[in-house]
Amino acid sequence: MDAALDRHEWGDPREPRDTRFETPERGERQARSARPERATSRPERTERPQRTERFGSERPGNDRPPSRGGRPVRESREREPKRERPPFDPDTFVPEPKVVVPKAPLPTAVEMAVVTADEAGMRVDRFLEARFEGLSFSHIQRIVRKGELRINGKRADSKDRLEEGQTVRIPPLKLDAPKVGGGVLSEAAQKTLDAIKEMILFEDADVMVLNKPAGLAVQGGSGTVRHVDGMLEVMRDAKGQKPRLVHRLDKDTAGCLLIAKTRFAATKLTGSFRERSARKIYWALVAGVPKPKQGRISTYLAKEENEEDTIMRVAQHGDEGASHAVTYYAVVETSAQKLAWVSLKPVTGRTHQLRAHMAHIDHAIIGDPKYFNKENWQLPGGIQKKLHLLARRIVVPHPRGGFIDCSAPLPPHMLQTWNLLGLEADRFDPIENAPEE
């Protein structure tokens, strides 16, 4: 099935940077007011009705209050001196390292639990975390993999959502031994906490946005020892609550990762992703130059598993496991017509969506070990063979009002490539004007 590519005139990349989308410094963040929409003129189009809305335009139901307070985004341009991070206040971050007492006794034998009205709609893994606080993610995944967790007699997946009245079979559970004690973090736990601090782009009482480095997994799995979800254990509080993942990034993708610090925030933020009110922008370096330079990719994607790996393939509507996936792309800058810096806006959130879509239109992302299969294609000298994909920006409603608007700098290997190719990281990004659907 061919991808559907639709030309959209979103704006000239050469025009001045649209400062409506800049992340303000801390002092400006609370004081700024909405700027008026800039008038634009667009050529007449005959193939479809004119789309006039812009990404972030002021229309009913889309008023954007200023972002809430937090650390300013660090720039990543080599020509500027490196900014020093302000010192961290350990009283703000170091949790009380007390032994976790679960809300309910851990079952020592198989237990049958009935889903209540309040628990309806929860994922199975969140259901277990809520009932048995202190239960580790790895332990939950282990009983799921072994088929020990069942819903109405059927084998459960950790992502399954529960319905009121369902019966959940829960096997005997156990808490991991406490890793800290005596009121002091262990040396290893302190190093983990320091590593988390270094990733923080934004934080308040409810939410954190981390700048996840490339190569760090978000969740554990077979053979994965170090991952973000496991690192967050050192931030578990006296009530047994720890920060929760709200969405995922591939292991080799760098950039903005949203974390909920409370159950209330997790519910609100998860709802924003489900309702598609969260906006994400990615940057990538791809082989060749896509034509047209601004377009829409619409396909169905299905998971294809073999003995060695799992990839997403382009499927037909109606194929088993096929889900509709839509991505907008825009070429920001090119290098000798051999490489292109593209900005990507996923409308849907399928596994490997951006990687599979760019490979499908024959412009695979540089350094992608799963989807880059161009024959006789030589990587330019000086460019590292790592995935050149960055979760550049996230804009999402804050659980208590307003918006979180956060951007991540280029990771080291992409910054090296940008400098080598002479790409300007502060250019106007035309994807910001892409349609919403």
- Distance CA(57)–CA(35), nearest Å, equals 10
- Distance CA(392)–CA(429), nearest Å, equals 11
- Distance CA(257)–CA(261), nearest Å, equals 13
Walk across the sheet containing 111-114 and list its strands: 111-114, 167-170, 150-151, 154-155
User: Distances in Å between the alpha carbon of 106 and those of 97, 113, 138, 148?
Assistant: 21, 12, 16, 15
Query: Would residue 250 show up in a list of annotated catalytic residues for this protein?
Result: yes
The catalytic position among 18, 125, 206, 250 is 250
Q: How many Cα atoms occupy the beta-carbon half-sphere of 141 within 13 Å?
A: 10
Cβ partners under 8 Å of residue 65, min gap 6? 401, 402, 403
- Distance CA(344)–CA(429), nearest Å, equals 10
What one-letter code names the amino acid at 396? Answer: V
Closest residue by Cα to residue 267 from 161, 394, 133:
161
- Distance CA(28)–CA(135), nearest Å, equals 42
Active site residues: 250
